[in-house]
Amino acid sequence: MKFATAALATAALAGTAMAESMAVLKQRKLDTWAAQNEAGVFDINRYAALAATTPCVNNKAGEYACSNVDLISFLRHQDMGSSTRKGNDVWGWTSSTGREFGAVGQTDGTAFVEVKSDGSLVYLGRLPTQTTSSSWRDMKVIGDYVYIGSEASNHGLQVFDMRKLLTITTPKVFSITTDLTAIFKGFGNSHNIVAHAEKNMIYAVGTGTAAGCKGGLYMVNVTNPASPVKAGCLSAGGYVHDAQCVVYKGPDTRYTGREICFNFNEDTLDIVDVTSKTSPVTLSSTGYTGSSYTHQGWLADDSMRYLLLDDELDEQDKKGVAANQHTTTYIVDIALLTKPVFKGTYQSPAVSIDHNQYVLNGRSYQANYGSGLRIIDVSSLSTAPTGSGIKEVGYFDCYPEDDSVGGKAEFTGTWSVYPYFTSGFILLNSIERGIFSLKFTGA
Ligand SMILES: *[C@@H]1O[C@H](CO)[C@@H](O)[C@H](O)[C@H]1NC(C)=O
């Protein structure tokens, strides 16, 4: 949680690093993107369409630096019907027959693509924003539905049935009235959407003041997607930037079977038992050295012993270990949910800010802004919990503009990654360029 003013003196005495506020973070990004806009970065035809699949050879795939990651396919934001041509979040959906689709966030809406069996991308259509454009749009999938929120004023939660894509032959602009399964207006703007598929729960985080939840977990029951229902709110820890929620099966057997959320709360990792939606219980709230803006993270393994955490401003603010601006991932031992312990850090060979990371089978797929997709092997944590055994096993740098200076800690490049398709094709959404279909070729 952010320290309230009254707690400032105590925090300073305790030597606790003060984190930036959300307003500061958002403004820094808006300033970056405004300057880029001036420089023509989002102009139409600024980027060339990809002519053909481009394998990574001698650390290059076309203009992109890479290692063990092939460039299979690419669509520019303009090729996906966006008139603002600026990307953000991305998530995936797999149909009952195994066809794979992406929901690609853009400031003016959500574009839909199919990832064909050879990894090539086909644009199918788009769902415009519910209100205005916004740099922040976030989407997650439960079952056959995608749930979309945005910082756009009064946006609410769009519920869209991805099965509508199965029969598309020419790209279609879907209607924000007649093509939605539902529009939930219980909250207006939100910063992120968290999905707990197993429990049919959506947690909107970073909602505005009108939502009355202090930006904490705004809980929406989507058991019936056509009729989302507010189930509760966690405001005790204040603003939540992102979260992962699970049915707990880790080492702290006191909580086996409970619904646990790991909340990234600006300057702390908060662990909360949300089994009761009407009276959630905070189990711990833990700060760490170097904290600047606790942003996102993911459980490092299925046994739920370790968690990876990224701080979005430590590199730019040169705080703690991240003073050298190499992307820094924090490793947290969560053997006791009531007493998480920060064990160490992993630093990328690259200079850049980290944004979103998702773990699959011992690897974390990190979308690290200016250094692009970074794939790290985290399977060593059980024997080396400080992170000393973590190794980069592949990368695809979708932002060549900062390569000549060895990378920069700036809000440019990629926003997010979706690594969960059975086919192994990875979707990487770039803010400037568009959506990449990639393939990891490492061992
Ligand atoms: C969600 O809604 C379903 C029915 O629509 C209900 O059975 C279930 O108890 C609800 N869950 C919560 C946590 O409110």
pLDDT per residue, tens digit, the chain (443 aa), is 665 444 443 433 333 446 788 999 999 999 999 999 999 999 999 999 999 999 999 999 999 999 999 999 999 999 999 999 999 999 999 999 999 999 999 999 999 999 999 999 999 999 999 999 999 999 999 999 999 999 999 999 999 999 999 999 999 999 999 999 999 999 999 999 999 999 999 999 999 999 999 999 999 999 999 999 999 999 999 999 999 999 999 999 999 999 999 999 999 999 999 999 999 999 999 999 999 999 999 999 999 999 999 999 999 999 999 999 999 999 999 999 999 999 999 999 999 999 999 999 999 999 999 999 999 999 999 999 999 999 999 999 999 999 999 999 999 999 999 999 999 999 999 999 999 999 999 98
pLDDT at site 1: 65
List, in sequence order, every residue forming a beta bridge with 373; answer none if it has no partner: 367, 396
CA 224 to centroid of ligand 1, rounded, Å? 9
Helix (H) or strand (E) holding 246, with range, is strand 242-247
Determine the pLDDT at residue 228.
98
Q: Whose CA is nearest to atom 5 of ligand 1?
A: 223
> What's the number of CA atoms in the CB half-sphere (13 Å) around residue 157?
34
CA 221 to ligand 1 center in whole angstroms: 6
Distance CA 69, CA 394 (A): 6
Closest CA to 173 of 229, 226, 112: 112
* Ligand 1 environment, Cβ below 6 A: 221, 223-224, 231, 277
* pLDDT of res. 20: 80
Q: What is the pTM (predicted TM-score) of this model?
A: 0.96
Taking the centre of ligand 1 as the mean of its atom positions, its distance from the CA of residue 219, in whole angstroms, is 11
* Amino acid identity, position 378: V
Strand, helix or coil at 36?
helix
Residue with the nearest Cα to atom 7 of ligand 1? 223
How far does residue 317's CA lie from ligand 1's centre (Å)?
43
Residue type at 420 in one-letter notation = Y
Instruction: Give the chain's radius of gyration (CA, Å).
Output: 20
Nearest CA to ligand 1 atom 10: 221
Q: DSSP secondary-structure letter at 241?
A: -
Minimal-distance CA residue to ligand 1 atom 4: 223
Contact at 8 Å (CB) between 248 and 261? no
Q: Residue 348 has what pLDDT? A: 98
Q: Where are the beta strands (DSSP E) in 251-325?
A: 259-264, 269-273, 281-286, 294-299, 306-311
Measure CA 146 to chain center: 15
Residue 2 is predicted with a pLDDT of 64
